[in-house]
A and B are shown apart, each in its own frame.
Chain A
């Protein structure tokens, strides 16, 4: 680790801390219907949308209605995206002719299973991609189907978090707000203005934004390259801000057209954490005690900083198998050293490790380096970040509601220890809440582990429909424990709605498209619905004043309980699976064992 690398991480963290309060306060005003500095400009637009769509701004919904609106909206989104994908050959803004007879050689066909997977993935804020954007999708589909989902799925996540926060903030009430209003305000006041500014900043750095044909270039050495084009900057900005992560290009944020400079990389990394960090303050503001929000942020910060230093350290130490071949391991003034396989030179080790930690802490899933090529310990932390439920800052909305779920479990465990009914921000946490919270956690764990187990052993006929390579484990690019990690990462990413991958796995087969698609749906809706049920019971309760027997949930003790809960639940659930993957791989690597099996004569 170098001083400059550490400085990058420190500056990043301080900027996030500095953004938390202003952005959080702004969002609290927006979502409570107060006037902000953007209202003179955007309020007419908001009202226009309500009028045109028949939304009554002042009506409120119970948790069941709120959930039904969310599910209905997601269903409509799915149909929109699926239709755009399947009909792209008939639609305009398709200069390369994808989905038609003149598609370039090597283009991927939008088959029904791939279109299903992609639509589910973008509607749920996952952005798992089994296709390469530049060789599969027209500008219209990217811009008017996928990028729209980046906006609305992010705003939907925030809406769910708001409903849960209202459940805690209100008392003896029945309603949690109005999904349509929360959704609209999120898009109009939060994501659209931020994305607009972000797109222009990224554009200044070299992110492309045009509707031209792909460019033919006659290279210096006399060959012909086809350079893809497209409306990238507008999509890139919301892809980061909404913690979506679906790249315009296959290489995602490693592609120079998506992320051309170290500064664009720094800004994209900031954009991932900005809204999730701000929402912790919004939470504090809405329940009338900002210390509660800062306590959540403190727990997140500890987990984040720990993870980023482990990843950075592991990647800078590099891969002993390769360094023994005579490669520079240490960073010098003229080269980065470390494990540079799958990393861009302009980002080096520190900024790649920072981005990778941030994108897996959040449910973003954009990548500026290839996680599959990380050292076992670096990759372990990234995978574990996802399996913790992406509550370290987390996705927009989903990070906050996930962390609040852990807070309830945390006070429950603490309550068991002292034999008192647990309380969180003045609400009694009783049987029903704890049951629902545990249900969500158990479903998540089962979703990841069962699909991983099935794909590790499932056999299909070779060149058959479901999985042409044969057995599902044949789709991995790496043999041995690393191959298993690719499968485990795929379903962890799907369940967590992250979307990043150990991308060596060939996931574009009907089996993987359908199974990850269902893992995504389970991970999104079977987490959100129990959570909204919790919000529904909490909102009816009275807020009781704290007594001397109450565990204060804004102090260091509670932060410790919360961190412990997150780590212990995650570790207990996933340790066995992780030990078969990255953990055993680490020990094999330091002994010089390679796969397919060969041992180096060390």
Chain B
């Protein structure tokens, strides 16, 4: 077997250079040229400072913002350094109690909403960084946001429709609303009114 070690070592060295350095270097160069925004994390800037990424969810608790899904990333949720899900199984008591509390909170925060709670609104995502909520969850929160901002529900519903991303290519995935983007739009709306 030892006479196989020589070629093994040399080939490993060659493949490390080829696939470990040249390949990622060329891909980096091309991505930076053709897709610079995406390659650097789809960052959102305001007043020249990084506010976040349109792909990475942030936590929102104020009633004047749309709230994201529950998150198991880090202790407080939405910690981009601790991506991951709850990993609680279907018969977990901890899961049951968490969801029960989240349902109660969702009802308390959105007293105007009577329907069943949208499935995504009280379940933690796989990454803990899910940037989206379902349109149903957004509409359920519309009355609260409108009230907190002194806007009409019609305006908020209109905004939700504008910010609903359809299924990609018409059939892939789910329709969704990006929480950070719609909340930024809310802030812009408020700013426009002040001016």
Interface residues of A (CB under 8 A from B): 4, 7-8, 11, 45, 49, 52-55, 65, 68-69, 71-73, 75-77, 80, 104, 106, 132, 134-135, 143-145, 147-148, 151-152, 180, 183-184, 187, 192, 195-196, 199-200, 203-212, 214-221, 223, 225-229, 231, 233-235, 238, 249-251, 254-257, 260-263, 265-266, 318-319, 321-322, 325-329, 332-348, 351-352, 367-370, 372-376, 379, 477-482, 485, 502-504, 585, 588-589, 593-596, 598, 600
B84: A residues at CB distance < 8 A? 132, 250-251, 370, 503
Least CB distance from A256 to B in Å reads: 4
By beta carbon, the residue of chain B nearest A52 is B14
Q: Closest approach, in angstroms, between the C-beta of A432 and any C-beta of chain B?
A: 23
B108 at the interface (CB under 8 A from A): no
The prevalent SS among residues of B at the interface is mixed
Question: In the complex, A152 Cα to B123 Cα: how many Å?
Answer: 39
Contacts of A72 in B (CB 8 A): 1-2, 4-5, 8
Task: Say if the beta carbon of B190 comes within 8 Å of chain A.
Answer: no
* Contact of B55 (CB < 8 Å), options: A183, A260, A367, A598: A260
Q: A187-B19, A257-B41 are in contact. Are A210 and B56 (CB under 8 A)?
A: no
Q: Does B129 contact A (CB under 8 A)?
A: yes
**B109-141 interface (Cβ within 8 A of A):** 115-120, 122-137, 139
Q: Identify which of A104, A322, A351, A595 contacts B173 (C-beta below 8 A).
A: A351
State the CA gap A115–B117 with chains docked (Å): 44
User: Does the CB pair A152–B12 fall under 8 Å?
Assistant: yes
- B residues at A contact (CB < 8 Å): 1-2, 4-12, 14-16, 18-21, 23-24, 26-28, 30-32, 34-35, 38-43, 49-53, 55-62, 65, 69, 73, 78-93, 95-96, 99-100, 103, 115-120, 122-137, 139, 167-169, 171-176, 180, 183-184, 187
B8 touches A73 (CB 8 A): yes
A-B contact pairs, 26 of them (CB 8 A): A11-B171, A75-B5, A144-B16, A187-B15, A195-B23, A196-B23, A214-B81, A218-B49, A220-B60, A225-B80, A234-B28, A250-B82, A251-B85, A256-B53, A256-B127, A262-B172, A319-B90, A329-B116, A335-B134, A342-B124, A346-B176, A348-B174, A478-B88, A481-B91, A594-B91, A598-B93
Within the complex, the shortest CB–CB distance from B164 to chain A, in Å, comes to: 9
Tell me if B173 and A348 are in contact (CB < 8 A). yes
* Nearest 6 interchain pairs by C-beta: A262-B173, A504-B87, A254-B126, A72-B4, A144-B20, A482-B89
